[in-house]
Amino acid sequence: MKTAAIGFMVDLPRAEAVALLKERSRRIEQWRASVTEHYIPEDGPGQLGHIGEIMNMWVHTADSEAEWTRGLVSRIEQGAYTFADEGEPFAGLLAEDARGQ
């Protein structure tokens, strides 16, 4: 699902894509906070056993996804990619016959 969303993000105006990605970052942070209400990452899985391992994985996944999303937002804000309101997003990326032309 995320792969499809990233693949189609250039079909949106740049500002809308940035707004949606920032919302994604906000939701990741909220989800991480809900996990850390019950699990303290600095303490490690410890007493929670294998359930602690799951929560540890969730925290690390949230951190990684948030970092990656912030990086993507930064690249887009600095002008990376061509969005729907700026021209042809796939120009130069696909062979002419791959676009059905």
Tokens representing 92?
A: 């130069």
pLDDT surpassing 80 at residue 11: yes
Question: Domain residues of the chain, as ranges?
Answer: 2-99
% of the chain residues with pLDDT over 90: 58
pLDDT at 33: 93
Evaluate if residue 94 carries a pLDDT over 60: yes
For residue 92, is pLDDT > 80? no
> What gap in Å lies between CA 82 and CA 87, rounded to an integer?
6
What is the 8-class DSSP label of residue 46? G
Neighbouring residues of 10: CB distance < 8 A, sequence distance ≥ 6? 17, 81, 82, 83, 84, 89, 90
pTM above 0.75, yes or no: yes
Residue listed under structure tokens 């948030």: 66
- Comparison of pLDDT for 80 and 37, the residue scoring more: 80
Q: What distances in angstroms separate CA 38 from CA 4, 34, 45, 52, 64, one per listed residue?
A: 32, 8, 11, 10, 20
